[in-house]
A and B are shown apart, each in its own frame.
Chain A
Amino acid sequence: MTGNLLIVLFDGLAFGMLLFVLSVGLSVTLGLMNFVNLGHGAFGMLGGYVALVVTREAGLSFFLALPAAFVGAAVVGIACERTLFRRLYRSGELNQVLFTVGLVFVATAIATFLFGTGQQPIQIPDVLRGSVEIGGLRFGIYRIFLIVVALAVTAALIFGLEFTRFGASVRAAVDNQRVAQGLGIDVDTIFAITFALGCGLAGLGGALAIEIVGLDPTFAFHYLIYVLIVVAVGGLGSIGGSFLAAALLGIADVGGKYFVPELGSFLIYLLMVGVLFWRPLGLFGKR
């Protein structure tokens, strides 16, 4: 029983880390820039298909596919930001929601057109296959890899935002856009870069997700819900909050399906409702 519990905790944590990489970008752009991008899941899906093309069509290593997914989603993200999203910064949230949901429909249609509606498998390298035995329990190597990647992303984000001048200018621009501009900070460019990073992380998450949850054109919508729950439970703009919320939700989701299958995937919604009753702004939310 304790063995099962440990494995469920471990699998849940790994799933949570996947959710974290998928959603932290949205938490940052939503919390820092107040832009409601429901198309975030579409950038995750894009990263997934980029990884697929890199490994299957180009025959390159999965380890190259991951940075390619990041860069691909970031580049498309910045193109969308420059041409489309920035026009919506000053319009209402309803416009942002409608526009970005529309974008998800477009992305789903494009994915269906190019790749069909079927589940796409991905080739992962042998070193990531199988499992290791620790104390009589078997831990999947790919899941260990997920946790390591997520920890590295968290460390890089916290370092970048808290300890670099770029991070300080992002925070300054969020605190007071006008004053930041008046001091010579190019707020537009900073927001575009931040947005691109957020999309890139979603792309990385999408590529990492294929091995665990598969990839098909419904990915953008399906995972949007998980992503929004992570952001809401963690609190807008909080990297630590997203991390904790994603871990919690991953464990609750996997644990719920394992121990109380009749509740199934409903448990995470109960968890969300519970957390938001207790802390309406999320675990680490400030506003």
Chain B
Amino acid sequence: MAEPLLELDDVSAGYGEGIVLDHVSVFLPAGGSLALLGRNGVGKTTMILTIMGFLSLAGGAVRFRGQDVSRLAAHQRARRGIGWVPQERDIFPSLTVEENLTVAARAGRWDLASIYGLFPRLHERKGNMGNQLSGGEQQMLTIGRTLMTNPDVLLLDEPLEGLAPIIVEELTAAIRRMARDEGMALVLVEQHAEVALDLTEDAVVIERGVIAHRAKSHDLLADRETLDRFVGLNLAAE
């Protein structure tokens, strides 16, 4: 097995007393990609927040590049190369588009020019304030902003949620480019199971805080019965 980039080792975590993740183990190799599937409220976002360090661990360890990062603060994990793309497109409304991109930037392969290459719309709107963008543009900005920190892995929390189909296509193409052409490792939480499976190599299905199923993404995509059982299919999900 390849050297793991990101590893959750027997992790339990939750909010206060309530445990939302129960002994979860997940493994992502460098350049790998993993879809986190499951119905609403099963612990997918909790898992992302736990990797970032926003929830305290009740047990287990989070390792990144072989080092235990379980005790590090969120900003320290981010600086080590964990790139979080939050849900809800939390752009900074009182910053311009360009400031949103540069405020947390760290030197590396991704700079303003390459982000504007990936999302030309952002270049057109670089002087606008963050809250003057459409939903799709905000999502592009959220992804671009995290890419500017030059992470080794991107944690994408429902990046396609609530977007028009044409924007979904554009974003999907951009994510595919990052993963296949740039070798960016991905963890993708997505309600659109078909899109997520199409973009990733491996998949886990979470149910009530435990991992209920593991598969290669293209196998799971073909296995309609399993998919339907665990995820209720993307079409029925919303």
- Tell whether A187 is near chain B: CB-to-CB under 8 Å: yes
A8 to B100, CA, bound (A): 45
A174 to B73, CA, bound (A): 18
Q: Which of A156-187 contact B (CB under 8 A)?
A: 165, 168-169, 171-172, 174-176, 178-187
Q: How many residues of B are in contact with the other chain, CB < 8 A? A: 23
Q: Which of B45-101 contact A (CB under 8 A)?
A: 52, 54, 73-75, 78-79, 84, 86, 90, 92-95, 99-100
B69 shortest CB reach to chain A, Å = 13
Most buried by A among B73, B104, B145: B104
B91 shortest CB reach to chain A, Å = 8
- Tell whether B191 is near chain A: CB-to-CB under 8 Å: no
- Tell whether B126 is near chain A: CB-to-CB under 8 Å: no
B172 cross-chain contacts in A, Cβ below 8 A: none
Closest residue of B by beta carbon distance from A178: B54
B104 cross-chain contacts in A, Cβ below 8 A: 169, 172, 180, 183-185
Asked whether A182 lies within 8 Å of B86 as measured between CB atoms, the reply is yes
B115 shortest CB reach to chain A, Å = 14
User: Which listed residue (A165, A174, A181, A184) contacts B94, Cβ 8 A?
Assistant: A174
A40 to B94, CA, bound (A): 26
A182 to B100, CA, bound (A): 14
Asked whether A172 lies within 8 Å of B95 as measured between CB atoms, the reply is yes
Asked whether B102 lies within 8 Å of A168 as measured between CB atoms, the reply is yes
Closest residue of A by beta carbon distance from B99: A168
Asked if A175 meets B84 with Cβ closer than 8 Å, knowing A168-B102, A182-B74, A185-B104, the reply is: no
Q: How many residues of A are in contact with the other chain, CB < 8 A? A: 18
A172 to B94, CA, bound (A): 7
Asked if A185 meets B75 with Cβ closer than 8 Å, knowing A168-B95, A169-B104, the reply is: yes
Asked whether B103 lies within 8 Å of A181 as measured between CB atoms, the reply is no
B220 shortest CB reach to chain A, Å = 29
- Tell whether B149 is near chain A: CB-to-CB under 8 Å: yes
Asked whether A169 lies within 8 Å of B103 as measured between CB atoms, the reply is yes
Asked if A179 meets B90 with Cβ closer than 8 Å, knowing A168-B99, A169-B103, the reply is: yes
Asked whether B79 lies within 8 Å of A184 as measured between CB atoms, the reply is yes
A169 to B106, CA, bound (A): 13
B84 cross-chain contacts in A, Cβ below 8 A: 182-183
B145 cross-chain contacts in A, Cβ below 8 A: 183
User: Which listed residue (B54, B86, B100, B106) contacts A184, Cβ 8 A?
Assistant: B106
Asked whether A171 lies within 8 Å of B146 as measured between CB atoms, the reply is no
Q: Which residues of A contact B (CB under 8 A)?
A: 165, 168-169, 171-172, 174-176, 178-187
